[in-house]
Amino acid sequence: MARGIVDVNVWAEMENDRIILVLDCAGGWPNDLRLIPDRESITVKRGNVSSQITMVQEQGNECAFNYLEMSAETARTFGLQHGDRVQLTYNEETKTLQMQRLNTSSAQATLLLDSRRNKDEVITIGYVLLSWLGIPDHAVGSAITLSRGAVNKKLKVVVPENELDEAFSMSASNIKAMGLTPRKKWKLTYDQDTRTLNISSNASSTTAGSSRKSKRSASTVRSAQSARLQHYKPAKTAKNKARKH
């Protein structure tokens, strides 16, 4: 068995019978997905949906997290959307690749004080940290719910000038309201379905953290991908079947 976690990128120009698997991205998590045969047709499944797909492997270049590229039609077939995070499990004996959507991702990060004026309505998150948490590009500039215990607050996500920053920052009033302490590491868990970022102090050694340094430019891959990736709404029938798994 080969396993790994990747993000879904929807590319309008992709063939419906092909999926590109891009590995070795700067912030990608450890995996053994190289065991998936390159340029061979395999069975790709999600729940009760299956299709014969040719998998093409590519080396990551200036990317923040490992990902799959697929056409809009293929994504609809499997009930997936651009920005979804999936766990891949490949069975070498049956040549079957199982996809399971992950709605939550976690990472450790240091909280910094944002002392600038008029920042009570925003949370600033570096692009590398966004990638670890599975917060998609199109969420930047929109509001998510920040949650700690019984305290919840909607804040707009912004990216700092240094996009490779692995910390997150908030205003003093927001830090106080959430009962947090700056310059300490916190465990962050983002839920893609509810668009909620939960903060807890129980940091886990298995989550992504600042010990992993990105060597590539996140801004380059963001601009390149946004020029060709198309957002869409998946067909309701496929989505309802597949999202149960």
Q: Rounded to the nearest 5 degrees, what angle is found at the Cα of 240, between the Cα atoms of 84 and 191? A: 35
pLDDT score of 22 more than 50 = yes
- pLDDT interval class at 20 (50, 70, 90): very high
For 104-209, CATH number out of 3.40.1350.10, 3.100.10.10, 2.60.40.420, 2.40.40.20 equals 2.40.40.20
Could you confirm whether domain 2-102 is CATH 1.20.120.1200? no
pLDDT tens-digit series, residues 179-234: 999 999 999 999 999 999 999 985 544 345 443 444 333 344 443 344 334 333 43
pLDDT tens-digit series, residues 51-73: 999 999 998 877 889 999 999 99
- Looking at the chain, the domain(s) classified CATH 2.40.40.20 span 2-102, 104-209
**Residue 244: predicted pLDDT:** 41
pTM over 0.85: no
Nearest in space to 184 (alpha carbons), one of 112, 131, 135, 122 = 112
**Residue 147: predicted pLDDT:** 97
Tally of CA atoms within 13 A in the half-sphere of 58 that contains its CB: 14
Torsion angle of alpha carbons 31, 34, 39, 45, nearest 10°? Answer: -40
Q: 3-class SS at 221?
A: helix
Nearest in space to 230 (alpha carbons), one of 67, 70, 62, 88 = 70
